Structure 1
Amino acid sequence: MVSTQPSSFTAAVEAAEKLVQPQNSQSFSDPFSIVSHEMSNLAKSISNLIGSGHPVLNRVSSYYFEAEGKNVRPLIVLLLAKSLSQIPLEQRNRIKIDSLDVTDQKPFSGTPSQTVVAGKSVDDSLSPLSILYGINPKVILDPLSKPMDRLPEFDAMNGILPKQRRLAEIVEMIHTATLLHDDVIDSSDSRRGRPSGNIAFTNKMAILAGDFLLGRASVAIARLRNPEVIELLSTTIANLVEGEFMQLKNTVIDPAAENSIDNDGESKTVPEPSGKVPTKTHEYTVTKPVDFDHETNVNAAFEYYLHKTYLKTASLMSKSSRAAAVLSGAQSDIIDNCYEFGRNLGLCFQIVDDMLDYTSSDSAFGKPSQADLKLGLATAPILFAWKERPEIGDLIARKFSQEGDVELARKQVEECDGLEKTREMAKLYCQKALDNLRVLPESDSRSALEFLTNSVLTRKK
């Protein structure tokens, strides 16, 4: 059920960032305070991982971390980590856990002289620094080798493992990299209440800074030294790109889009493949016949929309949630439910975001509102309206490109209760996420996750 508490999503996240130190075994007046130290130091910790030898690159890369973001992804990882720590150690034996989060991974060649990779800290490199950086080791700038803020007593009390804390930082780095790229793609002019990276610096610098963040994140991922987690997080990066491509062209309802791409409002023909390299076709890229019945077309569009939403938003939440569970040593059923929790919460989050695009002002949203229709995107509100009024399909097919299309689409959404139906869809995923959390022991941290999940539905930005 939706929380009846007056606190909004923003208030919930702000509560998580309060600098409140827990006191031994005393109960927490605010369940979010149990990860307050990690959240309040998140930007500082990430800045230690980003550093390069070029001051302007440092400036662009850290630009979005300076602003007040929701930070919901690392918050989920940290609260899950704390919740998972409530499971007795004897029930968390899928991998071996110690102070360095050691797995049962074997040495590279099995020879006694080699070091077990999994037994290293997240701050230790796998290769010599002179090889990684190719310069004089005496002048090497290696931000990833700086010791993280350990605070062993605090960690022991919180139950959050060092690798789980690093996981939270990695997740926010990946997310921020996608924001830099997305703002260039969408020609956005604001983000988090101030000029977007592409406006403040340039498109080229924003793209390069996003690439740099992904590079730094990839090194940090490798140093987690858990093959399963490396696979999960690396896959999210590919998912994000695939989801962006799905958003660029809606091939389900636009038969011509498979052979063309939009280039700043103009259609550009895609070069034909030479045949030298096999080109695999995803089921969602198979152009649907235009004479399908209306219900089939609408259902296909919703399926496409939800899969795109998973790739762009829910993939990072779901796979990072699963990674947090893997690192905890939890059993498979717990790991699976953590993944499903992140998936359902991610879908709920983005569906609400698509709804807010219709209802929020620019100042409240922190980025341009009413942007989806202007970008030609068919999200849940207009799809629900199309379900009732087949003629809307023409607007969707031409991506609301003609004069008056955006205003007409908004009117149709209002008349067909598209926003309320979208909210009901978000509620469904919210409830599924809450059900997934019930596999975890009752605790303040689980209550915090439940509160956060409910507050997604009531957020205003």
Structure 2
Amino acid sequence: EHAITLAAIIEFIHTATLLHDDVVDESELRRGRETANEVFGNAASVLVGDYLYSRSFQMMVKVKNIDVMALLSKTTNLIAEGEVMQLLNCGSADTTEAQYLETIQSKTAILFAAATQLSALITEQPDKVQAQMYQYGLHLGTAFQLVDDVLDYTAEATTMGKNVGDDLAEGKPTLPLIHSISYSSKADQTTLIDAIENGNRDNLEAVLSIIKSTGSLDYTSQAAIEQSRLAKLCLTELPESEAKTALMTIADFSVNRVF
């Protein structure tokens, strides 16, 4: 009965985060088109994002399910925390892999987890199934973000729909950079640290050469594949169905996509 409404709520929250993200990151492209902040300005983007957040909670009330409210309110709070963590990490070459994973799980993967748990919650599945669906979404979202990190250095702008090297330009210490710093020479470490701390694309080719030489793109890709495997493992006890097959396919797609 409420599945479509809840799906719309998730997408409203998702779109709100993208609008706010693009303002914070000063992004110019999103999915191959100019961002809302580029076309309409920061004020309009922030206000529309705020509207979508408030509208999503208004829609939640109509569902009249306190467990849904609890899950989604916790989720939006964690997303905001994740955004703050990412902001604090920007320009910091000391960010560890553990800190980075905590950040992407809070700002990205947590919404995947909420969406997949909701499907079990509204169909009144046992707590164990709800937990499995939550973990599936968390691993799926983590895999998705890790692939994004790789594509930021390897994809064509026309395919990716955003500028290549955006993360580097924003001073974001993503996993390819974090891993590469640990396994590169002192001179290369200086190049990577400078790129993170100064946040620009000036040394993009040099940075790309270093992270390739240290196997950091492969390392990140393998980390994504492992997260996809863990996601599918969460579905093991679910009965065979068209829905289960679709979830397995989505987990595979998350690591095989090129955009």
TM-score (norm 2): 0.92
Q: Quick one: distance in 2 between partners of 1:202 and 1:374?
A: 20
Q: Quick one: distance in 2 between partners of 1:193 and 1:251?
A: 24
Equivalent positions of 1:38-437 (< 5 A) are: 162-250=1-89, 301-389=96-184, 391=186, 394=190, 395-396=192-193, 399-401=196-198, 404-437=202-235
Q: Quick one: distance in 1 between partners of 2:240 and 2:32?
A: 37
Q: Quick one: distance in 2 between partners of 1:302 and 1:397?
A: 19
Determine if contact 1:314/1:347 at 8 Å carries over to the other structure. yes
Q: Quick one: distance in 2 between partners of 1:345 and 1:216?
A: 27
In structure 2, do the counterparts of structure 1 residues 227 and 397 end up closer, same or farther at CA, with 3 Å as the change threshold?
farther
Q: Quick one: distance in 1 between partners of 2:199 and 2:24?
A: 21
Q: Quick one: distance in 1 between partners of 2:111 and 2:59?
A: 16
SS of 2:173 mapped into structure 1: coil
Q: Quick one: distance in 2 between partners of 1:386 and 1:410?
A: 12
Determine if contact 2:211/2:217 at 8 Å carries over to the other structure. yes
Q: Quick one: distance in 1 between partners of 2:174 and 2:116?
A: 26
Residues 1:456 and 2:254 aligned together: yes
Structure 1 residue 435 displacement after superposition: 0.6
SS of 2:89 mapped into structure 1: coil
In structure 2, do the counterparts of structure 1 residues 174 and 402 end up closer, same or farther at CA, with 3 Å as the change threshold?
closer
Determine if contact 1:180/1:210 at 8 Å carries over to the other structure. yes
Determine if contact 1:232/1:319 at 8 Å carries over to the other structure. yes
Instruction: Output the aligned Cα RMSD.
Output: 2.0
Q: Quick one: distance in 2 between partners of 1:369 and 1:221?
A: 37
Q: Quick one: distance in 2 between partners of 1:198 and 1:402?
A: 20
Unaligned runs of 5+ in 2: none
Structure 1 residue 400 displacement after superposition: 4.4
What one-letter code is carried by the residue in structure 1 that aligns with 2:88? Answer: K
Determine if contact 2:170/2:199 at 8 Å carries over to the other structure. no
Q: Which residue does 2:240 correspond to in 1?
A: 442
Q: Quick one: distance in 2 between partners of 1:245 and 1:408?
A: 29
SS of 1:235 mapped into structure 2: helix
Q: Which residue does 1:269 correspond to in 2?
A: none
In structure 2, do the counterparts of structure 1 residues 400 and 325 end up closer, same or farther at CA, with 3 Å as the change threshold?
same
Determine if contact 1:344/1:429 at 8 Å carries over to the other structure. yes
Q: Quick one: distance in 2 between partners of 1:164 and 1:324?
A: 8
Q: Quick one: distance in 2 between partners of 1:356 and 1:223?
A: 39
> 1:231-289, CA deviations, whole angstroms, 9 ceiling, x for partnerless residues?
111122111211111111228956xxxxxxxxxxxxxxxxxxxxxxxxxxxxxxxxxxx
In structure 2, do the counterparts of structure 1 residues 248 and 451 end up closer, same or farther at CA, with 3 Å as the change threshold?
same
> 1:400-458, CA deviations, whole angstroms, 9 ceiling, x for partnerless residues?
41885443322210111111111100011000000101121101111111111101111
In structure 2, do the counterparts of structure 1 residues 390 and 221 end up closer, same or farther at CA, with 3 Å as the change threshold?
farther
Q: Quick one: distance in 2 between partners of 1:357 and 1:172?
A: 24
Determine if contact 2:90/2:171 at 8 Å carries over to the other structure. no
In structure 2, do the counterparts of structure 1 residues 306 and 210 end up closer, same or farther at CA, with 3 Å as the change threshold?
same
Which protein shows a greater Rg?
1
Higher helix share: 2
Determine if contact 2:90/2:172 at 8 Å carries over to the other structure. no
% identical aligned pairs: 33
Determine if contact 1:313/1:346 at 8 Å carries over to the other structure. yes
> 1:70-120, CA deviations, whole angstroms, 9 ceiling, x for partnerless residues?
xxxxxxxxxxxxxxxxxxxxxxxxxxxxxxxxxxxxxxxxxxxxxxxxxxx
In structure 2, do the counterparts of structure 1 residues 326 and 402 end up closer, same or farther at CA, with 3 Å as the change threshold?
closer
SS of 1:230 mapped into structure 2: helix
What one-letter code is carried by the residue in structure 2 that aligns with 1:437? Answer: L
What one-letter code is carried by the residue in structure 2 that aligns with 1:385? Answer: S
In structure 2, do the counterparts of structure 1 residues 402 and 191 end up closer, same or farther at CA, with 3 Å as the change threshold?
closer
Q: Which residue does 1:272 correspond to in 2?
A: none
